[in-house]
Amino acid sequence: MTTDTAIKVQGLEKSYKDLHVLRGVDFEVARGSIFALLGSNGAGKTTVVRILATLLKADAGAAAVAGFDVIGQAQKVRETISLTGQFAAVDEVLTGRENLVLIAQLRHLPDPGGIADGLLARFSLTEAGSRKASTYSGGMRRRLDIAMSLIGNPPVIFLDEPTTGLDPAARIEVWDAVKELTRGGTTVLLTTQYLDEAEQLADRIAILHKGRIIVNGTLQELKQLLPPAKVEYVEKQPSLEDVFFALTGEDDTETPADEASAAAKTGKEGR
């Protein structure tokens, strides 16, 4: 890894009996950037994140986060990262501020109250800080969840489908929170099945399909893979949606089996 690389993945493979979830995945993520891993349900996105977060061991290949090997230096990796899963991990009995203070105390950081107040302000939650999290909207709960993941200033954050189940307004709130992360120099690996989310947020986009990265580049580079379409003699530039479906051969009605379900059936979920 170079000093400008935050995450490096080489030849990752993972199978559950006869189901090959990852078939040799390779990519790199530059420091301070947002990298989107785009794919349908069951493409293997969550499996990649769990391997990088040291929650699951790959069958083959290598991966490093912030220069630390995910197998040989797992504890160093855990000290370097934060993971926000598909469901907000907030305690709804506590207020927003109490949630933040609790995490700061668990990390044995000085001035937990000051840390909480700073993050509430950063994510526009100051006025709601004294309210129980159970009263928060979906977008507010997600913003609080991301704020909690920033406690301790981890240089790398994994966001695994952070807007799943949110309404359009709440999704925009989360997008703004993610953009705020990189302004502070944080590296973000974002998994998503939403094409517009990748378009809005990512510096680079990799499409994961049937266990392999089939394309990796900037949004502009991906759009150049398809010729412009002509509509009434006017050129129409391809969208990311056009690129995704042209490369994967899928349509939006296709729903592949989720790799997490397959793992549960085999009883070989990460230990």
- Bridging pattern class, strands 5-16 and 19-30: antiparallel
| Partner residues linked to 9 by β-bridges | 27, 63
**Percent of the residues in the chain that have a pLDDT greater than 90, as a whole number:** 59
- Which residues face 147 on adjacent strands? none
Two tokens, residue 192: 């998503």
Asked whether 29 and 7 are in contact (CB, 8 A), the reply is yes
Q: What is the pLDDT of residue 231?
A: 59
Element (H, E) at 47: helix 45-52
8 A C-beta contact, residue 188 and residue 229: no
Residue 21 pLDDT more than 70? yes
What does the pLDDT look like over 49-84, one tens digit per residue?
999 999 999 999 999 999 999 999 999 999 999 998
Please report which confidence band the pLDDT of residue 251 belongs to, taking 50, 70 and 90 as the band edges: low
Strands (E), 31-165: 34-38, 60-65, 68-69, 81-84, 156-160
Extents of the domains making up the chain: 5-90+136-266
- Dump pLDDT digits (tens) for 107-148: 899 999 999 999 999 888 999 999 999 999 988 998 899 899
- The residues facing 38 across adjacent strands are 192, 207
How large is the average pLDDT for residues 185-197? 91
Identify the top-confidence range among 59-68, 192-201, 221-230, 240-249.
59-68
Q: What amino acid is encoded at 181 in this protein?
A: L
CA distances (Å), 195 to each of 181, 192, 252, in order? 20, 8, 11
Sequence letter at residue 213: I
Strand partners, 235: 230
Q: Is the pLDDT of residue 258 over 80?
A: no
Pick 22 or 180 by higher pLDDT.
22
Residue 167 above 90 pLDDT? no
3-state helix, strand, coil in the chain (%, to 5): 35, 25, 40
CA distance 262 to 189: 24
Q: Per CATH, the architecture of 5-90+136-266 is what?
A: 3-Layer(aba) Sandwich (3.40)
pTM (two decimals): 0.79
Q: How many C-alpha atoms does 119 have within 13 Å on its Cβ side?
A: 27
Q: Which of 34-48, 146-160, 162-176 has the lowest mean pLDDT?
A: 162-176
Q: End-to-end distance of the chain based on CA atoms, in angstroms?
A: 27
**pLDDT value at residue 269:** 44
Question: Measured in whole angstroms, how far is the alpha carbon of residue 195 from the centre of its chain?
Answer: 14
pLDDT, residue 229, reads 64
Report whether pLDDT(253) > 50: no
pLDDT value at position 208?
95
Residue 149 falls in which region: left (phi positive, over 0), alpha (psi -120 to 50) or beta? alpha
Question: pLDDT value at position 188?
Answer: 95
What pLDDT does residue 142 have? Answer: 86
Instruction: Flag whether pLDDT at 257 surpasses 50.
Output: no
